[in-house]
Amino acid sequence: MKKITTQNKGKGRAIALVAAAAVAVVALVICGAAMAFNRLVAVYERQCCLTDAGEQVEIITGKILPTRLFINHFNLTNGVNLAQLPFAELRERLIRDMPNLRDIKIVRTVPNRVRIEISERIPVVRVIGAGANANPNYTADSEGKVFWYPRRDTTLLPIIREVKKNTSTAGASLSGMSMAALRLLEAASDPEFAALKIQEVDTFKQDYLFATLGDSSRAKIAWEDMESNTKASRESLHRQLKRLSQAMKSNVAAGTKLWNATDYGVPGRIYANDPTKAE
């Protein structure tokens, strides 16, 4: 019995030694792999340093925002390690703080080169709030995003006049009747409705929009579910604009100064010299 016990103990020690050796080998392999990985990372990061920013950085901007703004924001100067810059965080912060930016695309093709493509919002309307102090430089794009834009470049854009002071500020989005006014202007820009030439839309009424047309006449315009952007609403708006355009082209009511395209009276009929008058 003693001999058998001694043999078992010897086998146990051998197994323990083999296991310990295996653990040591695995630890050494892991340690070696980690060191090799860290060295590779260090080599890669050294390759990511900017040595000639003018050559290694490409920034494609829009019309308004200068290249220098993005160079400063992303700190793209000689000596900077591109691998250590938090591009995603910096991108989100800039888009949040600058409403005129639609998107920023950042592309790194090789370790020490970066290309930044800037997409600016394009104004399609001017947005003017009520009151003498309303900011004349606020505009909105086709998505209804409000942002500042130099007035010299927007003088020919149609105007949306809002009911209250400071209803829309830079970074906000148009809503309610103001968004309906934007959809009206967008639909009216179709060549089919060239006769309208809408210059301005007032949103001071809850059940219709008051538009100033190209011949200086005015029109009350309403359609189905105005504040929604559904297919049915868009089709209703298209029908209403088509009727109004046909009425203006007919010359049956030449000299009309006020049109009613709100389905007042008989649905589908456009009234000239609106019997309900402007309010």
209 within 8 A of 222, measured Cβ to Cβ: yes
Give the containing element (helix H, strand E) for 103: strand 101-107
pLDDT in the model for residue 255: 80
34 pLDDT exceeds 70? Answer: no
C-alpha span between 42 and 45 (Å, rounded): 5
State the DSSP H helix or E strand holding residue 228, giving kind and residue range, or none if neither: none
Backbone angles phi, psi at 24, to 5 degrees: -65, -40
Task: Report pLDDT digits (tens) over 247-263.
Answer: 888 877 778 899 999 98
- Residue 36's φ and ψ, nearest 5 degrees, are -65, -40
**In contact, 162 and 135? CB cutoff 8 Å:** no
pLDDT digits (tens, 9 = 90+) for 108-119: 888 899 999 999
211-240 pLDDT per residue, tens:
999 999 999 999 999 999 999 999 999 999
Provide the whole-model pTM.
0.76
Residue among 138, 106, 142 nearest 121 (CA): 142
The DSSP 8-state label assigned to residue 153 in this structure reads G
- Predicted confidence at residue 41, as pLDDT, reads 47
Phi, psi of 214 (to 5 degrees): -65, -25
How many residues belong to the chain?
279
- Could you tell me the sign of the dihedral formed by the alpha carbons of 27, 28, 29, 34, in that order? positive
Q: Which H or E run includes 59?
A: strand 57-60
Specify burial of residue 77 (Cβ count, 10 A radius: 0-12, 13-18, 19+). Answer: exposed
Strands 114-120 and 101-107 come out as antiparallel
**Nearest CA-CA partner of 140 in 149, 132, 131:** 149
**In which element (H, E) is residue 109 found?**
none
- From CA 201, how far away is CA 256, in angstroms rounded? 18
Which of 146, 43, 63 lies closest to 99 in space, CA to CA? 146
Domains recognised in the chain with CATH numbers: 53-120 (3.10.20.310), 125-272 (3.40.50)
- Read off the pLDDT of residues 40-96 as tens digits, 9 standing for 90 and up: 444 455 678 888 999 999 999 988 899 999 999 999 999 999 999 999 999 999 999
Of 135, 137, 140, 164, residue with least CA distance to 152: 137
